[in-house]
C-alpha cells in the first residue's frame, strides 16, 4: 500500500489506478480515502466484493469499539513501519 497526496492522485489517477496498487489518499498528511483495486470480471462481482468489505469494516467497528478515524490510523501506522 502506498500513500499519495490528493493532488498527485487527481493528476495521475489513471496511471495509478491501472497499476493495481492499493493507495491511501491523503490531504495535508492525513488519510481521506482509499483506492482498493479489485479484479472482478463483472460489475456485480465488484459490488459483491465491496459489500463484503463493508460488512467486515462494520464488524471491526462494532467489536473493537474503534471509530473510522482510529482504524485508518491503525492501518496507516502499521503499513508505514
Q: What is the pLDDT confidence band of residue 78, given thresholds at 50, 70 and 90?
A: low
C-alpha cell at 72: 485508518
Same domain, yes or no: 64 and 78 = yes
Same domain, yes or no: 53 and 67 = yes
Q: What is the pTM assigned to this prediction?
A: 0.53
Query: In sequence order, what E strands does the chain have?
Result: 2-5, 23-27, 30-35
Q: Which range marks the domain in which residue 75 is found?
A: 40-81
For residue 72, pLDDT over 80 is answered with no
DSSP 80: H
Same domain, yes or no: 23 and 58 = no
Burial label for 61, CB within 10 Å (0-12, 13-18, 19+), is middle
Q: Give the separation between CA 31 and CA 24, rounded to whole angstroms.
A: 6
Q: Left, alpha or beta for 65 (phi > 0: left; psi -120 to 50: alpha)?
A: left
Q: What is the pLDDT of residues 3-61, one digit of tens each?
A: 889 899 889 888 888 888 888 888 898 888 888 887 767 788 888 888 888 888 888 88
CATH number of domain containing 31: 3.40.1620.10
Same domain, yes or no: 13 and 29 = yes
Higher pLDDT residue, 47 or 80? 47
> What is the domain count for the chain?
2
Amino acid at each position: 500500500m502506498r500513500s499519495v497526496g490528493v493532488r498527485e492522485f487527481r493528476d495521475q489517477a489513471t496511471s495509478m489506478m491501472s497499476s493495481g496498487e492499493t493507495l491511501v489518499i491523503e490531504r495535508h498528511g492525513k488519510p481521506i480515502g482509499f483506492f482498493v483495486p479489485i479484479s472482478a470480471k463483472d460489475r456485480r462481482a465488484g459490488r459483491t466484493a465491496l459489500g463484503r468489505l463493508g460488512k467486515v469494516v462494520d464488524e471491526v467497528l462494532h467489536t473493537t469499539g474503534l471509530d473510522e478515524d482510529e482504524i485508518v490510523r491503525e492501518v496507516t501506522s502499521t503499513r508505514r513501519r
